[in-house]
Amino acid sequence: MVFRLDPALPRRRAIESAIRTAITGGVLAPGARLPSSRELAAELGIARNTVIAALDDLIAEGVLEARPRSGVFVSRGVDPVPRTGAAVVEPPPAFDLRPGQPEHGSFPASRWVAATRRAAARAGHAPTSGAGCRELRAQLAAYLSRARGVTATAESIVICAGFRTASTLLATALARHGARSVAIEDPSLFGICGPWWTAGFTVTDLPVDDAGAEVHRLTSGTDAVVLTPSHQFPLGGALSPRRRRLVSDWARATGAYIVEDDYDGEFRFDRRPVPALQRSAPEHVVYAGSTSKTLDPALRLGWLALPHELIGPVVESSETLCGGAPLLNQLALADLIASGEYERHIRRQRREYARRRTLLQHTLGALGLRTCGIPAGLHTLIAVDGLDTGAGALRDRLAERGVAVHELARYTRSHQHRAAIVAGFATPSRAQFRPALDALAGTLRTSGD
């Protein structure tokens, strides 16, 4: 199988592009098995770690799927374009209410450019390593202590290119030290299992109810658990105080690790955010955060606050697999944090998202519908089991009217939940939010008639 790489792209992105082209061109059909990473590396003349990183990205996006002891396959949910036809480029939706993105147009561009200019002036003198730029790690340690109650130092933080890369680094490091079993919330982020499968882990689906993940199901045979305790994605609840204590005690008793994905922990609207779970057991909790919800996922900036014994293995994985995040972006973020602008930006966005959630809640309440979960974050779950239209059909009807949302079933694996749609109220620009809400409400109104 021949993959043609675009020489204008970085090698990792070129591999991803070549595989996508093979799928859309019909060369790789849904369900087809890809050559192994070793075979691809030999064919392309590229380091195997670069190939693995590209495959991990496509697995996380749902384009590919990893099957333990079988290999990597094209996902059966991927719609290939016929080889004889032109590629179809879907136009962007008129109203994007898909979860996962901060407000369009909210990125503090002028301040980021100024911070980048200052960063460029000192980039050649900034000490850095496989753990990332020390300046950013020191600023993050102080910020995370203030904002999220995290116990960390510059030495315990590793910078990486977002949560997916962080998962790859962590899974690789744990696998090298004999870990083989991980439990992951079900439902959870689409594609979250990919890095763990690729590293050879057995993944157990951990059910979630109104009190959060059912951590009482964890056993001594589980080496790690991945949780979103402050704001469960996508159901929107929080891990109860009792279960927070229970899972911390479990980790201490078994020597296992808790991976805390604090993806939107800064955005709590009714009270001060609950401190990170990491504070209760810092030697057993790996705290993961990023700028994906606060600034923009395109920055590809994330971090891990690690227990002492994992610092070396994760840094080694970073140096081997990806080499970290771009230095200029690291220095620019350090500048924003040091100046206070990062936290001012978060406060502005928190007020805006709280306003939107309240407006959405009132609008849906007038239709006899309710939003689920705590007042937090950038998305909400809308229960639609009382409507005549099923969640999948409702999603399609909304799409016909230019409104993009996700169905809850997109995020479930083995445990079924109520019919619901997941709406990202943060995504539209300020000018577009009210029209998007009106279009959503109008479709829901007719679906309930």
Residue 388 confidence (pLDDT): 65
Average pLDDT over the chain, rounded to an integer: 90
Q: What is the pLDDT of residues 128-161, one digit of tens each?
A: 788 999 999 999 999 999 999 999 999 999 999 8
CATH number of residue 387's parent domain = 3.90.1150.10
Q: Are residues 41 and 183 in the same domain?
A: no
In a domain, 40, yes or no: yes
Q: What is the pLDDT of residues 306-352, one digit of tens each?
A: 999 999 999 999 988 876 778 899 999 999 999 999 999 999 999 99
Output the 3-class SS for the chain: CCCCCCCCCCHHHHHHHHHHHHHHCCCCCCCCECCCHHHHHHHHCCCHHHHHHHHHHHHHCCCEEEECCCEEEECCCCCCCCCCCCCCCCCCCCEECCCCCCCCCCCCHHHHHHHHHHHHHHHHHCCCCCCCCHHHHHHHHHHHHHHHCCCCCHHHEEEECCHHHHHHHHHHHHHHCCCCEEEEEECCCCCCCHHHHHCCCEEEEEEEECCEECHHHCCCCCCEEEECCCCCCCCCCCCCHHHHHHHHHHHHHHCCEEEEECCCCCCECCCCCCCCHHHHCCCCEEEEEECCCCCCHHHCCEEEECCHHHHHHHHHHHHHHCCCCCHHHHHHHHHHHHHCHHHHHHHHHHHHHHHHHHHHHHHHHCCCCCEECCCECCCEEEECCCCCCCHHHHHHHHHHCCEECEEHHHHCCCCCCCCEEEECCCCCCHHHHHHHHHHHHHHHHHHCC
Strands 212-213 and 202-209: antiparallel
CATH number, domain with residue 288 = 3.40.640.10
Domain of 255? 107-342
Over residues 418-428, the mean pLDDT reads 94
Residues 299-316: tens digit of each pLDDT:
989 999 999 999 999 999
Mean pLDDT, to the nearest integer, of 45-64?
Answer: 81
Any domain includes 1: no
**What is the CATH classification number for the domain harbouring 19?**
1.10.10.10
Give the total number of structural domains in the chain: 3
My answer on whether 286 and 337 are in the same domain is yes
352 plus 334 within the same structural domain: no
